[in-house]
Each structure stands twice: as C-alpha cells, then as structure tokens.
C-alpha cells in the first residue's frame, strides 16, 4: 500500500484564527450562550478554527428570521428572480471552487482529488435547481360536479425548512438542501455537522455576496443533541430535510410530531453489490472496490456487502484486496492520495471496533484490518481499505452500517438466492449489479428493494435523477423533480362560474 509524503502546512485563508460566527438574518453573530467548539483536521489533529456553538436559543432566532423573510420580501421574488439568484450563487461557487474543495478536505479528510472531482456535480445541482425555479406549476383539472365549476391546483412553497446535514460531503450536502429551498421559494435554517462546519459557513459568505436576502438562508452550527434537536422540534419549522443515521432519523420523526411538520429522510445503508461470474471482472474489481473505499467508506450508499458468485469468489475477492492494497492512503491534501482519514476519533473507534468484531466472528481480512499509525499517520484517524472474506450473512459486519472502508465479501450461487439475501437487511438505499447478461440485470433491477440500482457501475449521480431509500434508509427523495415536490404544498382552488 502506497505511503503518504510529508505535506507542507499552509493555512487555508478561511482558517485564519478568527472565531467563525453563525449566520442569522444576514448577520454573522456569536452564539447566544457565547460557547464555541473546535474544528480539527482529521489527518493531523491540527486546529483549523473555533466555531460558534449554536443551541435552542440560536435556532429560535434563526427560525424567527426565516419566518419573517418567508412572509416578507422573499415571498415577492418571482421565479425568474430566484433563478437568477441561484445562477449567481453557482458562478460564485465556481469561482471559489478550489478553495471550497480544499476546505472540505481539511475539515473532514476526503482526498482533494475527490473533493475537486465533484465540481460538475455541485455546479450542476445549482444550475439544475435554477432551471427548476421557473418550472413549478399547478394544473387545471376537469371535474365532474354538476353545474359550472372550474378547478385547478397551485404549487406553493412549504415555508421554513430545517436542513440537517452530515459531515461526509459538506459542500455538496449543503447545496442539496439549500438549492431546492431557494428554487421553490422556501427559507432555510442549515445545521451543519459539528465535525465539518467550515465549508457550509464559507458558503454562507458567498450566499451573502450573491445577494440572498437576510433571513432566507441561516446557518447555525452546533451539536445534534442541542441545535439539531431544537430545529427538528421547533413549531415554527414547516419541514425538516435530514441526511444522517437511521437512529437520528427516528428521533427526528418523533420530534416532528408536535406540529406534524413535513419530513424527508436520507438515512443509512448496508447496500449489496453483486458480481456475477459473467461480468467484466477487470472493470468490476475497481468498481466494487471504490464502491466502498471512496471517501474512506463514509458514504451512506456504499456497496459494503459484496456478493460474489461462488465460482469466481476466491479469484475476485483476492483481486479486490490487491486493488485496495494499491491505493495510496494519507493526508488528503496530497493530490495523489486516494483514501484519506476518517472524520474523527469517534468514527475511528467505531470502525476499528467493527474490524475487531469481524475477526472475532470468524471473518478473514484479506487486506487491512487494523488502524494505520506509521509515520505521519500517527496523529490522524487512518484505516486502510479492508476486505473481509469468509463472511456470513448473520455476522454483524454484514448487517450493521460500519461507515468505513470495509468490504464484507459473501459468496452466492444463483440469481433468486442473491436477490433474497441482498434484500435481507433493514436498509434499502443503494445496490449494484455486475453482469453482461441483460436478463439478469433486469431481474435484479426489479427484484432488489433499494432506492438506486447501479448496473455495471456504482454511485452514478445526477441532479435530475432522484436518490433516496426504502425501508430504514428513509423516505422522500433528493434530486429530481421528486425532491422539488418535497418543498411544495399543493392547493386546490374551486371557482363556481355560474
């Protein structure tokens, strides 16, 4: 496995030693409590910034600002004006993209080769949402009542949105929530993850530069147990859009009951990635590997249950292990690094705990299997690409979401069997199929109970294509016209004309 080089410490312009304040009503303010928390580089442990720690009082202020904006000036913006604003935001994000991508790398560890590589997706989302801003419409409906009645529907913004995002892709996650809110005419309070709040806050500066009116977008960093919980339960919030663990998602559903706010949830996964013997194995090896090793496995739809047809199981799993060993692990600032650190000490403890559990249960690590501490990695949270063989369906590493670069390789024999076993999980977010047989591809696409099925690829994403889960992976969709509906109410209008 390739080892990292020494990276020269150069301070990011946003990590300038000043306390990062929260954005409420167009102003950068300190937390009402005066509390702050630290944000550190997970590759080195170095302090990046001290950040205002929001809690219930700050959320209350932000909701008040969002409500006033929604009922005030923002409600008078025409679709064309919202579109122009989103396009201006896209231009500013594009201008500052290298800075934003490096900030993602510093704050949560993803290799800069990955964060820079999401340029098309991030900018594409903003410009797609801009297009959707002028595409919202109701419909006229022919009704069957006796007499003269004209009936039609209006699509109206749902109101104040509480958006809670994870730490595994701060820039993209922020835009995935803010974009549809602006396009539909909603206002939003964004609660970034405490592990990686810097990029969302820097994005807030660009939103102000673009001319987003005060109160339309508010950004309140803080902890999930305080700021996040307050946002989910606040009676002034009309909708919560959440991405994160299924356990937190369940708490949000409970908190939403107070005013029956709309909720959309994109939660965890334990996705099957299925490789048939007739697949193009040379393509499937890196495809199956990076379905898990990308972003150090910190992707909710990662294909962590690797089902391999028994006749090629030993050969294929060894090749995936060899591929994992070939990847360069280290500080994400190095453009040659392919696997960075985990985001935090807490996440490191979780993942290494599962490494121990897997071996205790009888799984065999073909590569990886332990934390990396040599050289410059001793201060960071590094786990190498790991491939477990001899995995059984009932092992914890095959059933529970690890959220690390860990593959559980499981043999199978036939199509019906692998569909049944692939579905034998409480989750249903992503899935992959590798085969040259078109009939198999269609059978698996229909048979797998997951929100996305990738055939001979993995993690393909586009702003126009919906993404979301079945079962414990949540409900509602991100991207696509389906996401826009999550931010809109439908009003029926009846007019008696005679």
Which of 9-18, 182-191, 273-282, 481-490 has the lowest average pLDDT? 9-18
- In a 10 Å sphere around its CB, with 0-12 CB exposed, 13-18 middle and 19+ buried, how is residue 380 labelled? buried
| pLDDT > 90? residue 109 | yes
- Label residue 1 by pLDDT band (50, 70, 90): low
| pLDDT > 60? residue 5 | no
- The residues carrying an active-site annotation are 266, 300
DSSP string, 310-341: GGGHHHHHHHHHHHHHHS-BS-TTSTT-SB--
The pTM score is: 0.95
HSE of 447, CA atoms in CB hemisphere, 13 A: 20
Query: For the segment 386-441, what is each residue's pLDDT rounded down to a tens digit?
Result: 999 999 999 999 999 999 999 999 999 999 999 999 999 999 999 999 999 999 99
Q: How many residues does the chain have?
A: 498
pLDDT at 234: 98
Phi, psi of 344 (to 5 degrees): -160, 165
What is the average pLDDT across 190-203? Answer: 97
| pLDDT > 90? residue 319 | yes
pLDDT at 125: 98
Cα–Cα distance for residue pair 127/121, rounded to 1 Å:
10
- Label residue 10 by pLDDT band (50, 70, 90): low
For 71, residues 6+ apart whose C-beta sits below 8 A from its C-beta are none
pLDDT at 498: 82
pLDDT at 4: 44
Query: For the segment 122-151, what is each residue's pLDDT rounded down to a tens digit?
Result: 999 999 999 999 999 999 999 999 999 999
pLDDT at 7: 52
Cα–Cα distance for residue pair 375/372, rounded to 1 Å:
9
- Label residue 6 by pLDDT band (50, 70, 90): very low
Cα–Cα distance for residue pair 104/199, rounded to 1 Å:
6
What is the average pLDDT across 345-365? Answer: 97
Cα–Cα distance for residue pair 319/286, rounded to 1 Å:
9
Cα–Cα distance for residue pair 462/460, rounded to 1 Å:
7
Query: For the segment 22-45, what is each residue's pLDDT rounded down to a tens digit?
Result: 999 999 999 999 999 999 999 999
Strands 22-24 and 27-29 come out as: antiparallel
| pLDDT > 70? residue 9 | no
- Label residue 376 by pLDDT band (50, 70, 90): confident
The two three-digit tokens of residue 476, written as one number:
């509602």
Q: State the average pLDDT for the chain.
A: 96
Closest CA to 169 of 146, 144, 196, 149: 196
Measured between its terminal Cα atoms, the distance across the chain in Å is 79
| pLDDT > 50? residue 268 | yes
Closest CA to 135 of 74, 80, 67: 80
What is the average pLDDT across 365-390? Answer: 96
Contact 221, 53 (CB under 8 A): yes
The CA angle 353-355-356, to the nearest 5 degrees, is 65
pLDDT at 11: 73
pLDDT above 70 covers a percentage of the chain that reads 98
- Label residue 16 by pLDDT band (50, 70, 90): confident
Cα–Cα distance for residue pair 242/238, rounded to 1 Å:
13
Query: For the segment 322-344, what is each residue's pLDDT rounded down to a tens digit?
Result: 999 999 999 999 999 999 999 99
pLDDT at 3: 46
Q: E-assigned strands of 350-466?
A: 364-367, 386-389, 406-412, 432-434, 454-455
The two three-digit tokens of residue 66, written as one number:
């969002």
Place of tokens 């835009």: 175
What is the average pLDDT across 482-491? Answer: 98
DSSP H or E stretch at residue 80: helix 79-95
Place of tokens 């439908």: 490
């Amino acid at each position: 496995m390739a080892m990292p080089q020494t990276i020269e410490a150069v301070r990011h312009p946003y990590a300038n030693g000043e306390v990062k304040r929260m954005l409420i009503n167009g102003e950068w303010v300190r937390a009402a409590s005066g509390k702050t928390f630290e944000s550190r580089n997970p590759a080195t442990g170095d302090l990046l910034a001290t950040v205002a720690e929001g809690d219930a009082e700050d959320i209350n202020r932000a909701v008040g600002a969002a409500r006033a904006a929604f009922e005030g000036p923002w409600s008078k913006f025409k679709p064309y004006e919202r579109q122009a604003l989103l396009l201006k935001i896209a231009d500013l994000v594009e201008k500052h993209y290298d800075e934003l991508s490096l900030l993602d790398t510093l704050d949560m560890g993803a290799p800069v080769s990955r964060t820079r590589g999401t340029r098309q997706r991030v900018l594409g989302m903003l410009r797609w949402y801009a297009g959707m801003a002028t595409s919202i419409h109701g419909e006229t409906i022919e009704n069957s009542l006796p007499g003269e009645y004209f009936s039609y529907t209006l699509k109206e913004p749902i109101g104040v949105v509480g958006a809670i995002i994870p730490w595994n892709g701060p820039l993209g996650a922020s835009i995935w929530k803010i974009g549809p809110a602006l396009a539909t005419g909603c206002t939003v309070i964004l609660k970034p993850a405490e592990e990686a709040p810097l990029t969302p806050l820097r994005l807030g500066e660009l939103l102000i530069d673009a001319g987003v009116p005060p109160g339309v977008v508010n950004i309140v960093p803080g902890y999930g147990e305080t700021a996040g919980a307050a946002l989910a339960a606040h009676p002034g919030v009309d909708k919560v859009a959440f991405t994160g663990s299924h356990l937190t998602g369940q708490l949000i559903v409970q908190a939403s009951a107070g005013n029956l706010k709309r909720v959309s949830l994109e939660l965890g996964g334990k996705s099957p990635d299925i490789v048939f013997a007739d697949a193009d194995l040379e393509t499937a090896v890196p495809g199956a590997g990076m379905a898990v090793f990308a972003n150090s496995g910190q992707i909710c739809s990662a294909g962590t249950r690797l089902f391999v047809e028994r006749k090629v199981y030993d050969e294929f799993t060894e090749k995936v292990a060899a591929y994992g060993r070939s990847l360069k692990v280290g500080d994400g600032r190095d453009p040659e690094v392919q696997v960075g650190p985990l985001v935090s000490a807490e996440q490191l403890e979780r993942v290494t705990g599962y490494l121990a559990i897997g071996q205790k249960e009888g799984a065999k690590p073909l590569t990886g299997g332990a934390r990396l501490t040599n050289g410059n990695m001793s201060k960071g949270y590094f786990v190498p690409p790991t491939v477990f063989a001899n995995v059984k369906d009932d092992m914890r590493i095959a059933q529970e979401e690890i959220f690390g670069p860990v593959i559980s390789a499981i043999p199978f024999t036939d199509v019906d069997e692998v569909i049944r076993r692939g579905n034998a999980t409480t989750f249903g977010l992503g899935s992959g199929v590798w085969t040259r047989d078109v009939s198999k591809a269609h059978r698996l696409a229909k048979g797998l109970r997951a929100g996305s099925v990738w055939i001979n690829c993995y993690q393909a994403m586009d702003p126009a294509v919906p993404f979301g889960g079945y079962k414990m992976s949540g409900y509602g969709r991100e991207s696509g016209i389906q996401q826009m509906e999550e931010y809109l109410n439908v009003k029926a209008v009846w007019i008696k004309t005679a």
